[in-house]
Structure formats: C-alpha cells, structure tokens
Homo-oligomer: A and B are copies of this chain.
Amino acid sequence: PGKAKAEVIGFAKSVRKLGQDDPRRITHSLKVGLALTVVSFIYYLRPLYKSFGEAGIWAVLTVVVIFEFTVGGTLSKSFNRGLATLLAGALGLGAQYLASLSGEKGQPFVLGIFVFLLAAASTFTRFFPRIKARYDYGVLIFILTFSMVSVSGYRVEELVVLASQRLSTILVGAAICIVVSICICPVWAGENLHNSAASNMENLASYLEGFGGEYFQSGEGSNSDRSFLQGYKKVLNSKPTEDTMANLARWEPGHGRFGFRHPWKQYLKIGALSRQCAYQIEILNGYIKSDNQVPLEFRCKIQESCTQISAECGKALKSLASAIKTMTIPSSTNVHVENSKTAVKDLQISLKAVSLEHDQELLAILPGATVASILVEIVISVEKISESVHE
C-alpha cells in the first residue's frame, strides 16, 4: 500500500505541475467540458431533440473533434469541416444520381468506382505539404462525407433532408465551439507564437549572460543554479511548433494588439535566426564542459572582452525580447549591439597582441580561440535578429 500511495502522490504532483506550468490547460479542459455539456443539452432535451432528429449526435461529434487548444485551431477545423461537408455532400448527391442512371444492378459498382477514385485522389492530395499544413482535416472529412453519402443507399430526396440536417447540426456544434473558445479565456495561436519568439530570445539571452562567468570561472562556487544553461536547448527544436502556430494564426481574427493580417511570417524568420544562434550556443556549450586546459595567460587575455561580448549580446537579446513583448521599437538594443561590437574590437586587439613566442602554442590556445571566434559569429547573428525584429 505504501508503494501505491507513493504512486498516487507522484501522479498528483505531475498533474499539479502540468497545471502550474500553463494554467490555460485547466481552463481549456473546463471549456471542452462546458461546450460538450451545452451541446448535449441541446440534443437531450426533448423539444429541441425533435427539431434536429437523430443527426443531433453529429453536433456532439463535431464539438469533440473540432475543439482545439487555440482559437486558430478551432476556427480552422470548423471551416475545414463545414466546407468539406458541403462540397462532399453535393458531390455525393451527384454521384448517387449518376449511379442511379446505370440501373439497379450496375449502381453498386458505379458507386464503388466513384468512391475508389475519389478516396485515392483525395488521399494523394494530403501529401502536398501546403494542403497537409492547412487543409488536412478538410480532406479527411471530404472523403468521409462523400463515401457516407454515396453508399448510404437512400433515395436522393431523403438524402437532401438528411444532409441539410447534418449540416445544420455541424453548424450548431461549430458555433458553440467558436463562441466558447473565443469568449472564455481565449488562447490565441498568434499570441503563443509571439510569446514563444520572445521567450526563445530570453533563453538564448540567459545563456549568453551567464556564459562568461561559467567559462572563465576559477572553478569554485560552481554548484549554484545552472538551469539557465539548459534553456537554449528548447530553441533548437522549436521549428515545427512555430510552423503550426503560424499556420493557425492566419485563421484568427484581430485580437488584442494583433491585427487580422499581422505579419506572422516575420516570426518564422525571427525563429530561424534564433535557431541559428542556438546552434552556435550548442557548439559553445561543448567547450564549457571540455576545456580547462587552455593556458591561463591566454584565457586572461581574452577573458574581459569575451565576457563583455557575451554579456552585451545577452542584454541585446533581452531588450529585443522585451520589445517584442511590449510591441515597442527596441530602444536599448542598438546600444548593446554597438557595445558588443566594441568588445569584438577589443578582443581583436588583444588577439593581435598574442605572440606565440614563449611557450604558448597555437594548438593549446585553439579551444579558447574557437570560443572567441564563435562569439564573434554570435554578435553577427544577434545583429541579424535585431534587424529582423525592427522590420
């Protein structure tokens, strides 16, 4: 029983952590519950039941399948589902009509051929990257509705009634989803994208601000909090999430500080540059672990300017991140970029002064020199990010 108790406590802790990490998860779960309860009532209460008929169950299905975490996701799925049902329904009716021309015996075969051709062709379109990104769900519903309508075996007149009923229940379900999703603590994909751009930069900045101290430390008191050294790893694999968010953000109406046609693509550009910078940091990070064998004399020579470069780059990124957050024109960034460039010049001067005459070998100082060289590249990356934020 002790073990079981420990497991329950562990589970409770992980639930709490999930909720604390992002409280929107809790509100989202409650929102789904609410939307589903509302739509159930519509279906369950008798007077309403009569007007929708059996098809009311499709409203429940619609809510469960359509309700996504972000407003953009919900809107995109609603749109996809509605349009695909309409199109496929019309096509299905047409197919039924054509098949009925071929007589009682031929009908199933003609319909079978239609279903086969349409399903194969539609499935193939799902491999187009652009369709996959935006209309994947729509194509799925298209195949589904078409095959359901064309094999249902009803007469065309019945089908028209059935189809209009189903369409109206889908509309009811989608409307409830959209209202709940927008009106109660909405989660905007665009805002997520915006915040993730800022938080990525902050992660990079924390690393760079701490890098100097970490790399040049004398080795004591090093067991303090080092989580800032891990944050940048999230940035390395940020691409797929950002792509999805940008796709969903296009569906969202204007909200808060974002207009309807906010330049979401710009965030992808910023994201790519941030990842570039994260790759450089990943390489730098390899040097923190491995070397203390660089001669102290050389380390001292580059210590000040390298620490300076790294710290100023970090500050520049921090100010860019906060500029993104507040959507103002970044004011102090240029100062920090300029400072880091000055530090690069200082570094170059110290490097010029290095002579390899007495007991210092190029080989020995190489790791340190590489760190310096990568830091210079990071300055360039940061400058590019800064330019692209200004756009």
Contacts and interface: CB of A to CB of B under 8 A. Distances in A.
Interface of A: 14-15, 18-19, 25-26, 28-30, 32-34, 36-37, 40-41, 43-45, 49, 57, 60-61, 64-65, 108, 111-112, 115-121, 123-124, 127-128, 140, 143-144, 147-148, 150-153, 236-237, 239-240, 275-276, 279-280, 282-283, 286, 348, 351-352, 354-357, 361-363, 366-367, 369-370, 372-374, 377
A169 to B, nearest CB: 13
A275 B363 CA distance: 27
Chain A, interface SS category: helix
B32 A151 contact: no
Contact of A356 (B115, B237, B356): B356
A62 to B, nearest CB: 10
A263 to B, nearest CB: 23
Given A18-B127, A279-B279, A377-B286, A116 B351 contact: no
B369 A362 contact: yes
Given A143-B64, A152-B57, A29 B121 contact: yes
A144 B65 contact: yes
A14 B240 contact: no
Given A29-B120, A64-B140, A351-B362, 18 more contacts: A28-B123, A30-B120, A32-B119, A33-B117, A33-B123, A40-B151, A43-B151, A45-B108, A60-B144, A61-B148, A64-B144, A64-B147, A276-B282, A286-B377, A351-B366, A352-B362, A366-B369, A366-B372
